[in-house]
């Protein structure tokens, strides 16, 4: 039970969340220079009149997400007016409410649902992972992303991250497998003991994807997994890579909801799936689909769009509620030039520990003026 009876929504508000990146985030399908998100605040009140406000992040990453920031702000502002005063009895009530007022945008829904769940857990005085049924919050260890660039720059970025303790790199590939191979070699030479998670963001044909993997393994590189080698709807290509690769293939762009899980299973097009709140519509769906995917034999990655610590913490609480996942990719807050939030986690290089505070435990810092 997420909350007791008599809890209602007092108010939902939304504001742009545009935090500059230290360096451009470059993947096979696009580029970002700042987050393109909406920050949602939801205030709930219980039957005794106590109130709590929660935070949620709706993170756009076009073209991975169809939506961009302006649509998200508009969609959420419109829904906010309809959500005011709504009663929340059970988790199913929230599901029904959000399905009615935010249909068709998983990204918008993810932020609103997160803010409501954060507020509900704060009212209960429980960390969100515990309110979601988790029994433990293990320390997580995340990789760190290397954007597509030239080999020298990628090696320099990897070296900087290695000084901060990161040795597991999520390397963005998928534009040109020979160039990607040169970049991987440069990073491996710069950081002895580096481990690699490849993410092609749907950029390759199966043969190119396998050529890169074969070359990387022939060079003696440690490759942990291979994310979305082929286009989202190229399940035949995904299946070919899955069948021939010696590392798990993870569906990200090919996995956006329950129906995709069935398609991936039937086509044998992945061995694992990447859970992201912005694709799946929020913590409740991510938790349910994560459990179902695991029961079907899939490995699990926990990922995010380009998100601040609000969105990353929400996913980290889902990971804790799931009892852990196979690969944690919750690093984008460390790539931002500013962090306008406080609390929720303790970070030591790649290691992230949730604090045990109620809800997500994160608060916005007072805005600087002048
Ligand atoms: Mg990905």
Mean pLDDT, consecutive 10-residue stretches, the chain (370 aa), reads 80 98 92 96 96 98 92 98 91 89 96 98 96 93 97 97 97 97 98 98 98 98 98 98 98 96 98 98 97 98 97 98 98 96 97 97 81
> Tell me, what DSSP letter sits at residue 365?
P
Cα of 43 vs centre of ligand 1, distance in Å, is 32
Cα of 306 vs centre of ligand 1, distance in Å, is 11
Ion ligand 1 — residues with CB under 5 Å? 199, 227, 252
Residue 241's alpha-carbon distances to 59, 218, 227, 234, 237, in angstroms, are 30, 17, 11, 11, 6
How far is 186 from 100, CA to CA, in rounded Å? Answer: 50
> How many residues comprise the chain?
370
Residue 268 in 3-state DSSP? coil
Cα of 100 vs centre of ligand 1, distance in Å, is 29
Cα of 252 vs centre of ligand 1, distance in Å, is 5
Cα of 253 vs centre of ligand 1, distance in Å, is 7
**pTM (two decimals):** 0.96
Cα of 279 vs centre of ligand 1, distance in Å, is 11
> Tell me, what DSSP letter sits at residue 252?
S
Tell me, rounded to whole angstroms, the distance of Cα 38 from its chain centroid: 15
Q: Residue 59's beta-bridge partner residues?
A: 37
Cα of 249 vs centre of ligand 1, distance in Å, is 11
Cα of 250 vs centre of ligand 1, distance in Å, is 8
How far is 298 from 292, CA to CA, in rounded Å? Answer: 9
Cα of 237 vs centre of ligand 1, distance in Å, is 16
Segments making up each domain of the chain, as ranges: 7-125, 140-363
Cα of 305 vs centre of ligand 1, distance in Å, is 8
Q: Which CATH number is 140-363 given?
A: 3.20.20.120
Closest CA to 207 of 188, 172, 234: 234
> Tell me, what DSSP letter sits at residue 368?
P
Cα of 302 vs centre of ligand 1, distance in Å, is 10
Cis peptide before 194 (omega within 30 of 0): no
Q: What is the structure's pLDDT at 6?
A: 86
Cα of 107 vs centre of ligand 1, distance in Å, is 16
Cα of 327 vs centre of ligand 1, distance in Å, is 12
Cα of 164 vs centre of ligand 1, distance in Å, is 23
User: Which tens digit of pLDDT belongs to each residue from 25-42?
Assistant: 999 888 999 999 999 999
Cα of 201 vs centre of ligand 1, distance in Å, is 5
Q: Which residues contact 17 (CB under 8 A, 6 or more apart)?
A: 35, 37, 38, 39, 57, 308, 310
Fold for the domain defined by 7-125: Enolase-like; domain 1 (3.30.390)
Q: What is the structure's pLDDT at 370?
A: 47
Cα of 323 vs centre of ligand 1, distance in Å, is 22
Cα of 273 vs centre of ligand 1, distance in Å, is 10
Cα of 62 vs centre of ligand 1, distance in Å, is 13
Cα of 202 vs centre of ligand 1, distance in Å, is 8
Cα of 234 vs centre of ligand 1, distance in Å, is 15
Cα of 366 vs centre of ligand 1, distance in Å, is 33
Q: What is the structure's pLDDT at 1?
A: 54
Q: What is the structure's pLDDT at 310?
A: 98
Helices 283-295 and 258-267: crossing angle, nearest 10°?
A: 20
């Amino acid at each position: 039970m997420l909350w007791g009876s008599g809890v209602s929504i007092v108010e939902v508000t939304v504001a742009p969340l545009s935090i500059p990146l230290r360096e451009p985030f470059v993947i096979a399908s696009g580029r970002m220079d700042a987050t393109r998100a909406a920050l949602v605040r939801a205030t709930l009140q219980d039957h005794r009149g106590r109130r709590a406000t929660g935070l949620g992040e709706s993170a756009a990453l076009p073209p991975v997400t169809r939506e961009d920031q302006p649509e998200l702000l508009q969609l959420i502002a419109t829904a906010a007016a309809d959500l005011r005063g709504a009663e929340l009895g059970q988790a199913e009530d929230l599901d029904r409410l959000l399905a009615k007022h935010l249909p068709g945008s998983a990204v918008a829904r993810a932020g609103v649902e997160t803010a409501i769940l954060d507020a509900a857990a704060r009212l209960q005085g429980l960390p969100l992972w515990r309110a979601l049924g988790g029994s433990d919050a293990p320390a997580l260890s995340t990789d760190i992303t290397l954007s597509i660039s030239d080999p020298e720059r990628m090696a320099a970025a990897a070296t900087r991250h290695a000084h901060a303790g990161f040795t597991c790199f999520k390397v963005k590939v998928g534009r040109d497998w020979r160039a990607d191979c040169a970049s991987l070699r440069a990073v491996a030479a710069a950081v002895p003991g580096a481990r690699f998670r490849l993410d092609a963001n749907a950029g390759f044909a199966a043969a190119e994807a396998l050529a890169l993997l074969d070359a990387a393994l022939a060079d003696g590189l440690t490759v942990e997994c291979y994310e979305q080698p082929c286009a989202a709807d190229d399940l035949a290509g995904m299946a070919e890579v899955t069948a021939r690769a010696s590392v798990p293939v993870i569906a990200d762009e090919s996995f956006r909801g329950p129906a995709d899980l069935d398609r991936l299973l039937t086509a044998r097009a992945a061995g694992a799936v990447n859970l992201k709140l912005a694709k799946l519509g929020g913590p409740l769906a991510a938790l349910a689909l994560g459990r179902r995917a695991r029961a079907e034999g899939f490995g699990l990655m926990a990922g995010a769009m380009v998100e601040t610590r609000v969105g990353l913490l929400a996913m980290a609480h889902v990971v804790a509620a799931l009892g852990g996942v196979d690969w944690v990719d919750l690093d984008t807050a460390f790539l931002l030039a500013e962090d306008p939030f406080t609390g929720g986690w303790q970070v030591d290089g790649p290691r992230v520990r949730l604090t045990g505070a109620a809800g997500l435990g994160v608060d916005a810092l007072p805005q600087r003026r002048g």
